[in-house]
Chains A and B, each alone.
Chain A
């Protein structure tokens, strides 16, 4: 079934004080969608919200709501179609909660008229929805931050609009309110089929709950689509300039973004440029390669990994960090083909790293590959955190080969952090 477009923006340009804030935006939003707009400060998110809600005018291009250009809609009619939920602020005067919420009915009450039955009904519904009925008679100024925000949401709901624009309504509140309000917005979207367009500071909040994500950068749409297609390590780096992991939440199956923290992240750009010429292959298994891959890829090295079994933590890490890898079926011994592919990676690498992998007969061939690497003249670094005797489940076969590799000139380090020094030399 084709969805009906509720908001359509074409060739939208907007300048403020002679500097262009929005550049040629064009997009469609379908009725009933839940859309998030993400972007750094100054990307033009709020400007876009202000234009759609007719707070700002004097734009070039076309903004249509429900098929009508908003230039032709009155302020009142626009407010009947689009309600904005901003962060709460304090009004100049000490109104009661119900007086505040009734202000949402302004577009429906004529200048010479008074509130009608339907206005009281709408306010009542909005209060029930936001659980503000219990303090309807109290002064707004005496409420807590979370309660005030509920009143502002109720005010917007009283507008009975088709579209709800969320202008960072929760980013100044505690996590419990962020969850509470997000659930409210989701329920409004699902049960009352309100179209919701939100600006959120929290990327994960946006990804988890939106059908589509719009990434804005410097007043331009960088991408717009399903979270899976839009959110990636590269796109976040491009928009926000931050290093993140993008993974899948095992519980919800949705993407999640988690920032990379570390003392070396800051101001290390020049080193990263040099590092990208060095290819490093890491032997995986049982999650032993993950910290190595993480460290090396954050430093900018070109990393590969193998052979690892599907369902291994190292596979998740490699996927998350977009590192090429060689896999084998879950819980199966390494096949001839996989070993060949692994050797291909090793041959094209400058350095091979062997972290503290446990060896059994199934993955013994990985150790054979390392021995091959030494013979090929590759630099081999062994991270020997745990005695090989305790990691050898082959009855001594692995331990013997391990010793032979060290004898052949592999570098032995005691911890993951020491490998950087050896890579730079």
Chain B
């Protein structure tokens, strides 16, 4: 079986699961809408299929709930999950390190500080429907990435170890600044904490329209570098001997993954473990070839975050739990179970 047919088969299966998950998750929520009605409502949005569906029998309020409240959130969570898992695959591949997550080089701490500044000091300079917080978070993430990247660049080459270390160091410093602000602005503490823990509560079609094309384009472009990423895992020198432009590929991949992670973090806050665990799980199923691992992890990341977010909004209905808490509480034991079961090295 060639890599192409293997990839296509896995992708098909995962897309099927994703589709079923969308229908199921759209029907869960405070307002009771049956699976059948949900299916009909979703079907009525699909061009070509809508002629065969009679929407007149359905409660118009339910149509609004699904189309304006649940669907944007579902799609946003899918794209955030996709972004986090894709960035996770790239960072783990680049660093040849199982602990690499989308946030390793300080994207999350930078975004958190940016968001905090936005929440506390600035208000109402939204742009094209993007909130201040999102804009500031995005700026914080990108500035941090740029700083870490500049520190790790030695004579035109990027040292992976320096990159990881400077990322950790800078993250620690930025987090301290965030906590410092929180202490002096106790009235904003809950808001900041909720943002940091990660949530998709403020999902809207507006946000989705901004995030989705950006993430899609970046994820697809990065996808063309997966064979290079396979070979880079043999070491930079060996990759160069095999004809890979190691430094160039590393730079492109770092920038791409950082942008993808920054885009996700700025709309959703810090959602942990999706980007770390999804690639690990998929590696156990599809193997280490990044050309298969990357697209499958992207879709699986969407599924994982969709499921987690649905739990986050339904478990303690009508109260919401930050989705970051769900991903950690469920993701970590599952990951540990896989670690123990596979017995051999995961990475």
Do these two chains interact?
yes
Q: Which residues of A contact B (CB under 8 A)?
A: 50, 53-55, 75-76, 78-80, 83-84, 86, 89, 91-96, 99, 103-104, 106-107, 109, 111-112, 114-115, 141, 155, 159
Bound Cα distance A115, B234 (Å): 20
Cβ contacts under 8 Å, A99 to chain B: 230, 289
Contacts of B234 in A (CB 8 A): 89, 91-92, 103
Q: Give B contacts to A, CB under 8 Å.
A: 2-4, 93, 96-97, 224-225, 227-228, 230-231, 233-235, 237-238, 240-245, 283, 287-289, 345, 347
Tell me, in angstroms, the Cα distance from A296 to B298 when the chains sit together: 76
Would you mind naming 17 contact pairs between A and B with Cβ atoms under 8 Å apart?
Answer: A75-B243, A75-B244, A79-B242, A84-B241, A86-B241, A89-B234, A91-B233, A93-B96, A93-B230, A93-B233, A93-B288, A93-B347, A95-B233, A103-B231, A106-B243, A115-B3, A159-B242
**Which of A92, A99, A159 has the most C-beta atoms of chain B within 10 angstroms of its own C-beta?**
A92
Of all chain A residues, the one with the shortest Cβ separation from B95 is A92
State A270–B35 Cα separation when bound (angstroms): 97
Residues in B with CB closer than 8 Å to A95 are 230, 233, 287-289
Query: Would you call B233 and A53 a contact (CB within 8 A)?
Result: no
Docked pose: A104 CA to B234 CA in angstroms: 12
Contact of B242 among A92, A96, A106 (CB under 8 A): A106
Q: In whole Å, how far is A80's beta carbon from the nearest beta carbon of chain B?
A: 7
Ranked nearest first, the 5 interchain pairs of A and B with the lowest CB-CB distance are A79-B243, A92-B96, A93-B288, A107-B243, A92-B233
**Known contacts A99-B289, A103-B230, A114-B3; A55/B240 CB under 8 A:** yes
Chain A positions within 8 Å of B245 at CB level:
75
A80 to B4: give the CA distance in the assembly, Å: 25
Q: Are B242 and A104 in contact (CB under 8 A)?
A: yes
Contact partner of A106 (CB less than 8 A), chosen from B2, B231, B237, B345, is: B231
Query: Which of A86, A93, A104 has most chain B Cβ within 10 Å?
Result: A93
Q: Is the interface of B mostly helix, strand, loop or mixed?
A: loop
What is the CA–CA distance of A170 and B194 in the complex, to the nearest angstrom? 58
Residue in chain A with minimal CB distance to B236: A55
B154 to chain A, nearest CB (A): 11
Report whether A114 and B242 are in contact in the complex, using a CB–CB cutoff of 8 Å: no
| Minimum C-beta distance from A94 to chain B (A) | 5
Question: Bound complex: CA of A75 vs CA of B228, how far in Å?
Answer: 12
Residue among B97, B233, B240, B244 with max Cβ neighbours from chain A (10 Å)? B240
Closest chain A residue, CB of each to CB of B231: A103
Given A109-B227, A111-B224, are A55 and B237 neighbors across the interface (CB < 8 Å)?
yes
Given contacts A76-B243, A95-B289, contact A89 B238 (CB under 8 A): yes
| Contact present for B231 and A92 (CB under 8 Å) | no
| Given A94-B345, A111-B224, A106 and B244 contact (CB-CB distance below 8 Å) | yes
Residues of B within 8 A of A80 (CB): 243
Q: What would 14 more interface pairs be, CB under 8 Å, given A106-B242, A159-B243?
A: A75-B243, A75-B244, A79-B243, A83-B241, A89-B238, A91-B234, A91-B235, A92-B97, A93-B93, A93-B347, A103-B234, A104-B242, A106-B227, A114-B4
Q: CA–CA, A181 to B224, complex, Å?
A: 36
Residue contact A79 to B241, C-beta cutoff 8 Å: yes
Contact call B235/A89, Cβ cutoff below 8 A? yes
Known contacts A93-B233, A95-B230: A112-B224 contact under CB 8 Å: yes
A residues in contact with B345, CB < 8 Å: 94, 141
Specify which chain A residues have a CB less than 8 angstroms from the CB of B228 in the assembled complex. Answer: 106
Residue ID in chain B nearest A80 by CB atoms: B243
From residue A22, how far is it (CB to closest CB) to chain B in Å? 18
